[in-house]
Copies of this chain bind each other. A is one copy, B any other.
Amino acid sequence: MYDYSSRPSRLPLPVDERMASADIDLGQRKSIYRSLQELRQFEKRAHDLFLQNLVKGTTHLSLGMEAVAAGFGAAMRPDDYTFATYRGHAHALARGMEMGPAMAELLGRSNGVLGGKGGSMHLTDVSRGMMGSYAIIGAHLCIANGAAWSAQMRGSGQVTVCFFGDGTTNIGAFHEALNMAKVWQLPVVFVCENNLYMEYTPIDLITAVPHPAADRAASYGLESVIVDGNDPDAVYLAAGKAIGRAREGGGPALIEATTYRTGGHSRADPAKYRPLEEVEAWAQRDPIPMYHARLLGLGVAEGELSSIERDVAADVDAATEFAKAGEEPTGEALLTEVYADGSSRWRN
C-alpha cells in the first residue's frame, strides 16, 4: 500500500552520442575502461565473498555507478586528494589502492590496508591520496575542505575531490561545507552521486528541490552542473574542467552526477522498493557495455578489450587469494594506533 516501488519511475537520459567524438585520448579511454572493469569485477567478487560470509558486517557497492569514480580517477593528479563515503571501494581503487590489501580489509585480515581495523566502510590509502572513507553522513565534506585549505596554504596545487550521495545533500554539514569552501575559495570539487535513493527512500520524496545538489549550487555562489554519471567520458570532461579551474585558484565546484546503483544499498538488500521498470531502464544504461560499445566504435579491437577484462579478472583472483591467505588480526593489534605514539595508553 505505501510501497515506494509503485511510484512512477525516474528514467535515465539516453546516451549522449556526441561524447564519442569528444577530445579524449584513446589511451586515456582504454585506461578508463580498465578502471571500470577493476571496480566492477572487484565489487562483484566482494559481494560473492559477503554472501559466503567471508566478508562480515556490511558492504556498500557502487555496481552500476562506476563511471563516476573511473572518470574522476582518470582526471586527477596523483597527489590530489579523494574523500569518499562508506560506498568507497570504487573511489579507493580508482585512485590506485591495491586490490589485495583492499580485499583483505573487507575480509578483516591483518594484511588488509587498514590491518582489519577499518573494514569496508573506511578504506584509506594516504599514499595514493585516498584520504579516507567516512561512514557518517556529511562529515567528510567538511574534512575535505580542510585538506583543500591545507593545499591552498602550502601552495601545493593539489585539488581535493569529495564524493557523496544525493541523500547527503539534506544534512547540515553539506551546507556548512559548501559555504565555507566558497568563502575561502578552496580548491575542492564536491561530487554528488545522485543515484535517486538514500537508503531505501526515494530522494525526491524528502528533498525540497528536484536536483538535490545542482538546484542548491546558487546558495553557495556556485554554478549549477549536472553531468551524466553513467557516461565515463562526460564525467571525465566535467571532472577535468572543475579540477583544472580549482587548481588555478578558481575555487570550488559542485557537480551532480546522475546515476543508479544496480543492486541494493548495502549487504544483501534486494532493493525491492524500486519500480521494476526503473531498474530495467537503468540496467540498459549500465556504463560498462555502453563504454565497451563506444570503444569498439572508436576502432578499439574487441580482443584488446577482452584482454583487459581477463587481466582484471586475474588481478581480482589474485587479490582474493591474497586476502584469504591473510591472518586474522590478533590481540596485539587491538591496542595500537589510538595515539600517534602507536599505543592506546591513556594513563601512566
Give the contacting residue for A179; candidates B176, B178, B207; CB below 8 A.
B207
A320 vs B186: C-alpha distance when bound (angstroms)? 52
Q: Nearest Cβ in chain B — how far from A259, in angstroms?
A: 22
Q: Nearest Cβ in chain B — how far from A113, in angstroms?
A: 31
Majority secondary structure of chain A interface residues (helix, strand, loop or mixed): helix
Q: Which residues of B contact A206 (CB under 8 A)?
A: 183
A138 vs B176: C-alpha distance when bound (angstroms)? 12
The verdict on A173 contacting chain B, using a C-beta distance below 8 Å, is: yes
Nearest chain B residue, comparing its CB with the CB of A251: B208
Count of interface residues, chain A, beta-carbon cutoff 8 Å:
24
- How many copies the complex holds: the figure is 2
A104 vs B307: C-alpha distance when bound (angstroms)? 83
Q: Which residues of B contact A174 (CB under 8 A)?
A: 172, 175
The verdict on A335 contacting chain B, using a C-beta distance below 8 Å, is: no
Nearest chain B residue, comparing its CB with the CB of A216: B219
A170-B179, A172-B173, A173-B172 are contacts. A209–B220 as well, Cβ < 8 Å?
yes
Q: Which residues of B contact A222 (CB under 8 A)?
A: 208
Q: Which residues of B contact A249 (CB under 8 A)?
A: none
A144 vs B183: C-alpha distance when bound (angstroms)? 29
| CB atoms of A176 and B171 under 8 A apart | yes
A221 vs B218: C-alpha distance when bound (angstroms)? 13
Q: Nearest Cβ in chain B — how far from A10, in angstroms?
A: 17
The verdict on A223 contacting chain B, using a C-beta distance below 8 Å, is: no
The verdict on A278 contacting chain B, using a C-beta distance below 8 Å, is: no
A174 vs B171: C-alpha distance when bound (angstroms)? 10
The verdict on A309 contacting chain B, using a C-beta distance below 8 Å, is: no
| CB atoms of B182 and A172 under 8 A apart | no
Chain A residues 198 to 238 lying within 8 A of chain B, measured CB to CB, are 205-209, 215-216, 218-222
A185 vs B138: C-alpha distance when bound (angstroms)? 25
Nearest chain B residue, comparing its CB with the CB of A174: B175
A174 vs B205: C-alpha distance when bound (angstroms)? 20
Q: Which residues of B contact A175 (CB under 8 A)?
A: 170-172, 174-175
Q: Nearest Cβ in chain B — how far from A247, in angstroms?
A: 20
A209-B221, A219-B209 are contacts. A176–B182 as well, Cβ < 8 Å?
no
A220 vs B170: C-alpha distance when bound (angstroms)? 10
Give the contacting residue for A219; candidates B172, B182, B208; CB below 8 A.
B208
Q: Which residues of B contact A221 (CB under 8 A)?
A: 208-209
Q: Which residues of B contact A219 (CB under 8 A)?
A: 208-209, 215-216, 218-219
Query: Can you sample 18 A-B contacts with CB below 8 Å?
Result: A138-B172, A170-B179, A171-B172, A172-B172, A172-B173, A172-B174, A174-B175, A175-B175, A179-B208, A183-B205, A183-B206, A183-B207, A183-B208, A208-B219, A209-B219, A209-B220, A218-B218, A219-B219
Given A170-B179, A171-B175, A183-B208, 14 further pairs, Cβ under 8 A: A170-B175, A170-B176, A171-B172, A172-B172, A172-B173, A172-B174, A172-B176, A178-B208, A182-B208, A183-B207, A208-B221, A209-B218, A209-B221, A218-B219
A: which residues have CB within 8 A of B?
A: 138, 170-176, 178-179, 182-183, 205-209, 215-216, 218-222
